[in-house]
A and B are shown apart, each in its own frame.
Chain A
Amino acid sequence: MAIQRCSQARSIQSLWLTGDWFGRLSARKGRQRSVHMMRRVFIAAILFVAVWAPSLLVAAEAGRADLMGKLCGDAASLGDVGRALVGIAADGSQDERAWATPVARAVIDRKLTCDTKGAVVISGEGSFDALTREQRVAVEGGRSPFLNLKNRALFETAVAALALRTAPDPTQRGAALRTLERQAAGLPEHLFEAAAEQESDAGLRAQMTAVAQAAALNSADPAKRIGALKRISATPDRRALTQVRALVADPAYAGDPEFKRAVDAAIATIERGITAGDVLAALYNGLSFASILFMAAIGLAVIFGLMGVINLAQGEMIMIGAYVTWMVQEGLRRLAPALLDWYLIIAIPAAFLVTAAVGIALEAILLRHLYRRPLMSLLATWAVSLFLINLVRVTFGTQNLNFVTPFYVAGGVPVIGDFIFTWNRMFAIAFAVLTLGITWGLMRLTPLGLNIRAVTQNRTMAGCIGIPVRRVDTMAFGLGSGLAGLAGLALAPIYSVNPQMGQNFIIDSFMVVVLGGVGTIVGTVVAALGIGQINVLIEPMWGAVAAKVIVLMMIIAFLQWRPEGLFAIKGRRK
């Protein structure tokens, strides 16, 4: 039995020839497949180890030295090392895995230096020799092996496979499992089984078993294959579909009716999942684009609706909001590094107040003198926009600002099919909803909102009944600018922040405001949702360029039919 196992090991892992026997045997020691068989294996193993142990240790050392040599070799031998490391994760002993883990990590991070005496790994615990693990620093003139894309993939797999076995933290093991899941079919079969066996976390163990089952798609046992199909169709995406569709050409598909049924059922389930995922993705993308449009437009809706001022500097208010966010981040970095991750939340009042102050200053200094001359105010705000762009460019430079990506806006989670729920978009959506709530509350529930609505509806009459029209104008301009500042904050984790960023938004936001009907919040919301969703629906069919053209044509056509927009304020205006 032992001999049989040994030859099996040799065929899988020729590189780790001697080390393998030992590792595989000890890894399988606790396996409860058959007591009888276990006992035989165990006895054989003990005999084997007793006779061979000293020479085995030497051989393992030699294997490692060989690997180190290859590690410092060319791209092809680096690839061999990557495969060998995956092999260690699956079959190696605990000691070997512990040795391999920092080495694999160091190669990816380029923290491994090859020098005349071998290789040195620099890790959190200092710098030590990769082979002997003795503390030492690299000899001058060493070089770090550089991974090309193929080898990088191998080492990423190796790191994840080793983490699956050795990482102390269950979340790390979980992350490793998710990385490996996508390529399960190409990995040593028993990697997941072995990991599941020693796993202490019950939930994670179940997941590992599931992955192991899914990996058995091409095994010899038909029952296992059908089980694998069931597992695969539980996570439907296009990758799974490609994998399962390939089975239609499999001889078993024609020969075994049960297998055929299972494959057909799996394909149907996966296709349903993909369709659901696509629908959700389209909705989510539309919603996220709409939230961006809404954020950019809501401030303008207040200003344009109230005063009819075409504020071309509105985009620059968004830009200023983003820059204020950046300054808050830098301030936190200096004063309270512990809070750095929360800068997006902490910056909310600053972004609002600073841009509101800029808006109020703009209104007080410039626009209030131009209210009776809309053409002049349009040109003046355009000049202001150019002025602000160049002011920022001179002060901060033209480069994109460096934002920390806090954990709550990084990455995403796959939901169903190919739909990935990305957190930065979710942040923008949540922020847009929050802004909508606050704006609605301000307009409907506060005296200022009442005044703004009154002035919007009929300026002269509002003035007659004693509303301080000019002051309402100033406050409304401040509010509109402050909302744009918040938009800048929400956009910081999604788009590049540079002096020109505001110009991308000005046309889109006017589009939303005019379509929605001047001065109505609900109109702005509906218009943003409509434009966002239509854009996202057209894009995959005819491309992004055509989507833009078609949306603009639709808006023109719509405004021909309803010049006052979707939701016009009823009553005598002007």
Chain B
Amino acid sequence: MSTFSRRSFLQATGVAAAGLASPIGMPAIVRSAHAASGTVKLGCLFSSSGTMANIEGRLNHVVRMAADEINAKGGVNGRTIEVAVSDPASDWPLYAQVGKQMLEQDKVAALFGCWTSVSRKSVLPVVEQANGLLFYPLHFEGDENSKNIVYVNSPPASSVLPAVDYLMGEEGVSAKRFFMLGSDYVWPRTINKQLKGYWKSKGIPETAWREEYVPLGFSNFQTLVNQIRAFADKGGGKPIVVLTVVGSSIPDFLREFANQGIKATDVPVLGLDMVEADLEGLNTEPLVGHLNCWAYLQNAKSAANATFLKQWAEYVKAKNVPFKGDVVIDPMVSAYNSVHLWAMAAAKANSFDVLEVRKAFAGLSFDCPSGYKLGMTAENNYVSRGVFIGSVNEKQGFDILWQSKDAPKPVPFSPYG
């Protein structure tokens, strides 16, 4: 150990940093066979490691399941679908790199991927440059309209705003004050900016809200929950928390929140990124009543949903997938919808060319497991979806508190931002 000095330490950390930054073993990351004739390739950009692994990882399997389903019916345009899976390791720049590789080397017909907006933003220039197609299955902050990205889930106007409206209304809790708590990146900041604009337009004074951010992967929420309590006890109307933290921060926050004895009836939490999978491993009894909003909830009543749930359970069993067969979250359904939308468009265009496929999007409609009919128009690459507001129940799931009558037309750019 006599050789250990500051210099060697610096060298060591330098090498380690370089190792972390450059994707060692890059070729192994993209697991795919050579493009055989008679197949068409789709690429998945979902992390199986890092902070997003638990929720993003399952989307790979859903894409595969959807592809299998289409293949069983004879494939698309006479070709069978082959799915290439990657692991961008929750490392945002790596999404761009892996995406580029898939588009240029593997010649995938379309990409399905990204959870966080920051990863989508990093892939955006790549798909635009290569003129590829990325299906993005998450609800997000909007304010973006690329011809190379298909926004399969809802922008704020048809997800966050109806939920906030509900909470502010008579039927909800007549919320008057808002504590915004988010992870420190583009999605929470943009959502909160739009929300502030929306509240301003309703004449709510600036003193009625507060905004806090934490680093990604943050887990020590003690002080923040104290602040929320202080905020709530100040009086001046019913307070709510608009929670935009992501990944493992969600269960850590909820646990601390419940431990400090705050109930949903005192201060309800609207978790914008909160899904069933985040509640795994939590005792949800003290959390009953907290809310989320998505374009699909597992309890949605429809024939298509029953079929989908059964299909997933069977797939998990047959393929020994390392995720629960009885938990289905919105992004899974959205990823499933994505593959079908793509296949329908490709069949309609009778081509896999991105330009042709994109033209075919106009007028597509698909029976989503949520029970709503998805629709696309020639206007943009947005998909109209239904709106659900869910409420946490004792069984680590969500009950449907409210749902929209039909699928509202998506509004890409928020007038409040």
**Interface of A with B (CB < 8 Å)?**
75, 109-110, 146, 148-150, 152-153, 156, 182, 237-239, 241-243, 246, 281, 285, 288-289, 292, 307-308, 310, 312, 371-372, 374-375, 378-379, 382, 389-390, 393-394, 397-405, 410-412, 414, 418, 420, 422-425, 459, 494-501, 504, 536, 539-540, 543-545, 548, 563, 574
A398–B53 touching, CB < 8 Å: yes
B255–A494 touching, CB < 8 Å: yes
26 A-B residue pairings within 8 Å (CB atoms)? A109-B394, A146-B401, A149-B172, A149-B264, A150-B173, A152-B265, A152-B288, A152-B289, A242-B233, A288-B222, A292-B220, A372-B1, A379-B16, A394-B322, A397-B323, A400-B54, A400-B280, A400-B281, A411-B258, A422-B259, A423-B259, A459-B1, A494-B252, A498-B54, A500-B49, A544-B212
Residues of A near B184 (CB, < 8 A) are: 545
B351 CB–A CB distance under 8 Å: no
* Known A288-B222, A400-B248, A400-B280: A393·B1 in contact at CB below 8 Å: no
CA distance A390 to B87 in the complex (A): 13
CA distance A563 to B393 in the complex (A): 53
CA distance A167 to B184 in the complex (A): 47
A378–B12 touching, CB < 8 Å: yes
Most buried by B among A75, A109, A420: A420
Q: Lowest 6 CB-CB distances: which A-B pairs, in order?
A: A400-B281, A238-B233, A242-B235, A153-B265, A397-B322, A544-B214
**Interface of B with A (CB < 8 Å)?**
1-4, 6, 8-9, 11-12, 15-16, 19, 48-51, 53-54, 57, 171-173, 184, 212-215, 217-220, 222-224, 226-227, 229-230, 233-235, 248, 251-252, 255-256, 258-261, 263-266, 268, 277, 280-283, 286, 288-289, 291, 322-324, 391, 393-394, 399, 401
Residues of B near A563 (CB, < 8 A) are: 6
Residues of B near A382 (CB, < 8 A) are: 16, 19
A308–B54 touching, CB < 8 Å: no
A399–B1 touching, CB < 8 Å: no
* Known A148-B172, A424-B259: A285·B223 in contact at CB below 8 Å: yes
CA distance A567 to B6 in the complex (A): 18
Question: From residue B37, how far is it (CB to closest CB) to chain A in Å?
Answer: 34
Residues of B near A379 (CB, < 8 A) are: 15-16, 19
A496–B12 touching, CB < 8 Å: no
Which of B230, B260, B282 is close to A412, meaning CB atoms less than 8 Å apart?
A: B260
Question: From residue B336, how far is it (CB to closest CB) to chain A in Å?
Answer: 20
Residues of A near B15 (CB, < 8 A) are: 375, 378-379
Residues of B near A420 (CB, < 8 A) are: 260-261
Which of A75, A500, A539, A574 is close to B248, meaning CB atoms less than 8 Å apart?
A: A500
Which of B53, B215, B219 is close to A499, meaning CB atoms less than 8 Å apart?
A: B53
B259–A411 touching, CB < 8 Å: yes
Residues of A near B252 (CB, < 8 A) are: 494-496
A149–B268 touching, CB < 8 Å: yes
* Known A398-B53, A403-B281, A496-B251: A375·B11 in contact at CB below 8 Å: yes
Most buried by A among B16, B224, B235, B259: B259
B173–A281 touching, CB < 8 Å: no
Question: From residue B216, how far is it (CB to closest CB) to chain A in Å?
Answer: 10
* Known A156-B265, A418-B233: A289·B220 in contact at CB below 8 Å: yes
CA distance A153 to B286 in the complex (A): 13
Residues of A near B248 (CB, < 8 A) are: 400, 496, 498, 500-501
- A-B contacts besides A312-B16, A539-B223, 11 pairs, CB < 8 Å: A310-B9, A375-B11, A378-B12, A378-B15, A389-B49, A412-B261, A418-B229, A495-B219, A539-B224, A544-B214, A544-B223
